[in-house]
Chain A
Amino acid sequence: MARVVVLGGGVSGHTAATFAAKWLGKNHEVVVVTPNSKWNWIPSNIWVGVGQMTKEDVTFELEPVYKKAGITFKQAKAVSINPEGSESSVKPFVTIEYTGQGKAGSSENVEYDYLINATGPKLNFGATPGLGEGSNLGEFTVSVCTADHADHASHELQKCIDKMKKGERQKFLVGTGHGMCTCQGAAFEYIFNIEHELKKAGVRDMADIKWISNESFLGDFGVGGLHMKAMGFAVSSRIFAESLFAERNVDWIIGAHVNRVEKGKVHYELLDGTMGEETFDFSMLIPPFAGVGLKAYNKAGEDITSSVFAPNGFMKVDANYAAGSYENWKASDWPSTYQNPTYKNMFACGIAFAPPHPISKPMSSPNGTAIGPTPPRTGMPSGIMGKTVARSICDLILKGENAPLHKASMAEMGAACVASAGKGLFNGTAAAMTIYPVVPDFEKYPGTGRDTDYTFGEIGLAGHWIKHILHYMFIYKAKLNPGWTMIPE
């Protein structure tokens, strides 16, 4: 009997664990280690953040679902990995520290045959002074990264709406809180949902809304932008985004590294080296991501963290980490099996794997500050990776150690993204976009590196309906309700 341990119960980890449990059956064990008792459909957090959904609408208890699937659930956070075992144990193991189930604070060593690291990121608020401490959100800004953060954001937003109703003008600043952030898409959705809600509340004329991000052009989204074919027109995501911002009267600051946050004010540095500051009454700034801080030890107990993990704390996989500068980047640098090169029974997927380099053109200011989006590994690609890793591990267990691994490189993978720009059955809007491949392949598709026949986008009410349907569909799937395997990632 083999044991597969999955660290993390987010999109990637949950997908990997549930498929592994289904494919392996009762003869093998799947263990999920996640510090949260609830699963969160993160894309809908933006609707919690504007009070259009409750925390309960976007989360559910994991324990009963895992019980149904025959998965062992440990509500704990992983602290360290011993991929070679220890002097007293031959088998590799993970050291975990419980956060619930009545065992909070106690530690345990969980042995494994195969390990999937899908911990997601550490929300590194501490990287920007004033944005927060470590992984804790600070007091000056709000966040929509977790359901609790989003719930808090919604209350703060309501306070601003109340003030505007009393005739007090308010300034909103939404975007990225550091020069090396990813997830611009979430901030993009949030700023337009705020704009939509303010309009609904009849106070839009009392609000100044501004975007701040580390992208070198609007619409970069961490993927170097995209070119969409829509309604017979070829539109760059820059033109698309600029039109949307202008249409909704939202101002923008781009190429910005927020280097300090204080009450009602952010300080930033721009790509041309100039410094600036911006005031706000309400601000949602996405923090940069880092690895969760897992340690690794060899058999002798020596620290081997730096050989298992990249400096940013994400796990090394079958990627080319020596690609060098921008002109040398190739699609083949990106991992396809997500297997750790040293320890073949360890895999990392979702945000937890270390990408070889960004997707967007790397840029820095004359002062040497790197300002540019880091690559997104969330949503659809994250789910696909989780399923692929689960399939590989199941084959290794069921067909033998020499079974070929399954592949899902982001350079050969398309992704669909539906970005909400306002919630409402008849007046909602969302931008639906597809991109293929996520990582540009300049050799296969000279020019943009993408197949423009499969890269398109449209904005409208139908997009909102799709986004809303996806909310129910993915929660239905994650709860493992009948037919869940038929719903794509």
Chain B
Amino acid sequence: MVRTIITYPTPPSVQYGTDVRFFDSSLFELLQDLKDTIEANHLQALAAFQIGSYYNVVTVKKEDGEFLELINPRLLSSSGSITSQESTAYFPGLTAEVTRFETISVIYQDREGKDQSLKANGAFAVLLQRKLDYTFGSSFINKLSKEEKKRFEKKLEFGSDVAISESCPTTFKRDYLQKASKAAFVIMFAMIVIALLFSNDDTKQNLWEYQLYGSYFVVLMQIVYIFYGQYEGKRYSSCTSCQIGNIIGTAAIALFKLTLIMVISYFLIKP
């Protein structure tokens, strides 16, 4: 079956390669899909990763038209270096200059699970290295030099992060809790203004009580924010490395604002 090749800017549906443990019909089906997809798209090779499978499998169409199936391949040894213009199906129509090993030795298993090895050099070695990188969840971009990466990224409409990071939400549900706190702050600030207009003690007593209720509400919102925020942060742990720090920092700022409002209220409102 011809499968859809995942192309930029769709993030790869899987991020990690894993070894094949069972040499059964599902593996043979995957190998057939890879061959069909290579034929249909006139490609030289495909890693299973490129059609959304997390297995360490690479299929190469050789010059004689036969297919080479590499299951659980490992790049064992290498020598020399070669720089060439490369393209990959993930970035259709784009090329980049990449430096790789000139000669490599690869060990792998065939469809029967038997250990095999091969030596490759030149263009074939470059092709295998590019596919092997995919089987370990790396991307084409990881192999570019700093300068080449900058040049390549300019050609990408959405930057390079989309290719390797998981889809991150731009807003979090926890932000609604901060919005509620901000609304409470506006009301509490309005209470201070009203208190300045009315000098009646009874009114001030009522306003002070409202301020107290408001402060309880904000404190409660912040406690919920800290715990819910941590839960939500763990679900998107790859999006940012310091979410927990941000959550605590945001809560601390809100509580500082609350303290300020309550101190002002104490002197201006409390009868």
Contact = CB atoms under 8 A, between A and B. Distances in A.
Interface of A: 216-217, 224-225, 227, 229-236, 238-239, 243, 253-255, 270-274, 326-327, 329, 361, 363-364, 366, 442, 447-449, 452-453, 456, 458
A452 B107 contact: no
B29 interface: no
Given A232-B165, A453-B234, A227 B137 contact: yes
A361 B72 contact: yes
B44 interface: no
Interface string B217-254: 00000000000000000110111110000000000000
A231 B239 CA distance: 7
A239 B142 contact: yes
Nearest to A456: B237
Contact of B238 (A232, A255, A271, A274): A232
Given A239-B138, A273-B117, A234 B76 contact: no
Given A361-B19, A361-B72, A448-B18, A236 B138 contact: yes
A326 B14 contact: no
Interface in B91-108: 105, 107
Contacts of B235: 453
Nearest to B133: A239
Given A232-B165, A255-B76, A364 B115 contact: yes
A476 B90 CA distance: 53
B16 A232 contact: no
B74 A216 contact: yes
Contacts of A273: 117
B4 interface: no
A225 B133 CA distance: 14
A229 B21 contact: no
A239 B76 contact: no
Interface residues of B, number: 36
B136 interface: yes
* Interface SS, A side: loop
Interface in B126-142: 133, 136-138, 142
A333 to B, nearest CB: 14
B107 A234 contact: no
The 3 A-B pairs at the shortest CB distance, nearest first, are namely A272-B117, A229-B238, A234-B15
A335 B136 CA distance: 30
B206 interface: no
B185 interface: no
B164 interface: yes
A326 B23 CA distance: 11
A364 to B, nearest CB: 7
B105 A272 contact: yes
B39 to A, nearest CB: 28
Given A230-B241, A234-B16, A239-B133, 6 more contacts: A216-B74, A232-B165, A233-B238, A327-B22, A453-B234, A456-B238
Contact of A227 (B16, B21, B168, B239): B16
7 contacts: A225-B136, A231-B241, A232-B241, A234-B15, A239-B142, A272-B105, A447-B18
Nearest to A226: B16
B208 interface: no
B75 interface: yes
Contact of B75 (A217, A442, A449): A217
Given A216-B107, A227-B137, A453-B234, A236 B165 contact: no
B237 A234 contact: no
B153 interface: no
A249 to B, nearest CB: 14
Nearest to B161: A232
Contact of A442 (B21, B107, B137, B161): B21
A449 B21 CA distance: 12
B166 interface: yes
A217 B136 contact: yes
Nearest to A219: B136
B77 interface: yes
Contacts of A254: 74, 76-77
Interface string B5-38: 0000000001111110111000000000000000
A25 B61 CA distance: 71
B170 to A, nearest CB: 14
A208 B241 CA distance: 36
Contacts of A453: 234-235, 237
B16 A452 contact: yes
Nearest to B21: A327
Interface in B43-58: 54
A271 B107 contact: yes
Contacts of A327: 21-23
B72 A366 contact: no
B165 A233 contact: yes
B136 A238 contact: yes
Given A216-B107, A232-B161, A255-B107, A448 B136 contact: no
A239 B238 contact: no
Contact of B137 (A234, A270, A274): A234
B16 A272 contact: no
A254 B136 CA distance: 16
Contacts of B75: 217
Interface centre among B16, B105, B117, B165 (most CB of A within 10 A): B16
A236 B16 contact: yes
A326 B166 CA distance: 31
Nearest to B17: A236
Contacts of B165: 232-234
Nearest to A452: B16
A233 B117 contact: no
Given A232-B240, A273-B117, A239 B74 contact: no
A295 to B, nearest CB: 38
Nearest to A453: B237
A456 B117 CA distance: 32
